[in-house]
Structure 1
Amino acid sequence: MEDRYLRRFVVDELDYDPRVTAAHIGVAVENGVVTLTGHVASYAEKATAERIAMHVRGVRAVVDGVEVRYPDDCRIGDEELADRCVRAIAWDVTVPPGSVEIKVEKGCVTLSGWVERYDQKAAAERALRRLAGVADIVNLVGVCPAHNEAQA
């Protein structure tokens, strides 16, 4: 499929979805690789835009250059954000207690540690997606089914 048609399909899908403010997102396509640029109001909106682009038929890869820009009245310090992240993961029964470590720097949340199943890794990230103040999530949590047995 030609890149210009693929770009049009991605733009149309972004315009159609009410969870995304498509007017603030730029779309470029080269050889089936979609590059998203611009800014959005939350990490959830950024993740949604990336998923929308990835699910358009013909897209080979997505480069996500979208920036999260919170309004000034919604800015949250890293200390408060880290506390919110710890509580959100603690409340998620899918994530084993003490298995995920959290680091927050300028709104970017980095998750590390070990879990036994992939759904536990995904749940840790999912628990943080809609938290105000999250600009990006880097999920470095490893999955090792026998990890807990090896430590015993």
Structure 2
Amino acid sequence: MIIATRTRSDNKIHSLVLAELEWTPEIDASEVEVEVEAGVVTLSGEVGDYFEYLAASRAMRRVHGIAGVQNRLTVLPRSARWVTDTDIGRVAERVLTWSANIPGTVRSRVEGGCVTLTGQVDWHFQREAAERAVENIRGVHTVRNEVTLIPRPVSEEAAERIRSALFRDPQVDAGRISVSVVGNTAVLTGYVKSLMEKTQAGEAAWSSPDVTTIDNRLDVRPY
């Protein structure tokens, strides 16, 4: 469904988004509506599962020119097989227990097809691993990741260490990014050329042993 856009740039982005959705085999693009305003893409409509919902978000990171994304897709399972919260919870407990990169401190609860993860871990990658472990379970509509990182002492060189990591990353133009660390929070400011670069900068900062929160304020300036 094509919705009128306000500028030539938005019209171009709209066409690119439609093409990328059609190109992505995990998505039924016919069910997705796209609106673009000032470079911000809004996705709406219905998808068959949470995996498809996430695939749509990932697809947007691959499109040049997008300044932001609002994913308002609704998960409406198309499978005739009924899956209860109890079924989902049983599978979630199993995959969390058997995943080698997820600590035993992570717990899950399920309500209305929404899986909520709780607990504390040492590293962000462990929190991400827990989310990935449950997001593809049949019947899941959404995942709420409330797992937190265990607070730790902050090095005086915390900001400089993150800057160094950004400069090492070939996918990030670190010269346009400023880093400050307040308490256990790393704040990224400046600008990048794509959503993919913004995400990558955040991932690099998450590897710091000094922070438990990332405040990614990077602006996306595609042109």
Q: How high is the TM-score relative to the length of structure 2?
A: 0.62
Please state if 1:93 is matched with 2:100: yes
Instruction: State the structure with bigger RCO (CA 8 A, min sep 6), 1 or 2.
Output: 1
8 Å contact from structure 1 (residues 86, 102) kept in 2: yes
The 2-side partners of 1:38 and 1:125 are apart by 24
8 Å contact from structure 1 (residues 115, 145) kept in 2: no
Structure 1 residue 75 displacement after superposition: 2.6
Question: Which whole-Å deviations, capped at 9, do the CAs of 1:93-139 have from their partners, x for residues lacking one?
Answer: 10011x11212111011112111011101100110121101000111
The 2-side partners of 1:54 and 1:112 are apart by 27
Gaps of 5+ in 2: 1-7, 154-223
Please state if 1:55 is matched with 2:62: yes
The 2-side partners of 1:25 and 1:75 are apart by 24
8 Å contact from structure 1 (residues 117, 145) kept in 2: no
Runs of 4+ in 1 over 2 A off after TM superposition: 144-147
The 1-side partners of 2:40 and 2:116 are apart by 26
The 2-side partners of 1:88 and 1:104 are apart by 14
Match of residue 30, structure 2, among 23, 33, 36: 23
Root-mean-square deviation over aligned CA pairs: 1.6
The 2-side partners of 1:46 and 1:59 are apart by 18
| Cα distance change of structure 1 residues 146 and 88 upon mapping to structure 2, 3 Å threshold | same
Please state if 1:14 is matched with 2:36: no
Moved more, 132-141 or 68-77: 68-77
Question: Percent identity over the alignment?
Answer: 34
Q: How high is the TM-score relative to the length of structure 1?
A: 0.89
Match of residue 125, structure 2, among 115, 119, 123: 119
8 Å contact from structure 1 (residues 3, 29) kept in 2: yes
Please state if 1:33 is matched with 2:40: yes
Gaps of 5+ in 1: 148-152
Structure 1 residue 146 displacement after superposition: 4.0
Aligned length: 146
The 2-side partners of 1:54 and 1:81 are apart by 29
Structure 1 residue 144 displacement after superposition: 2.5
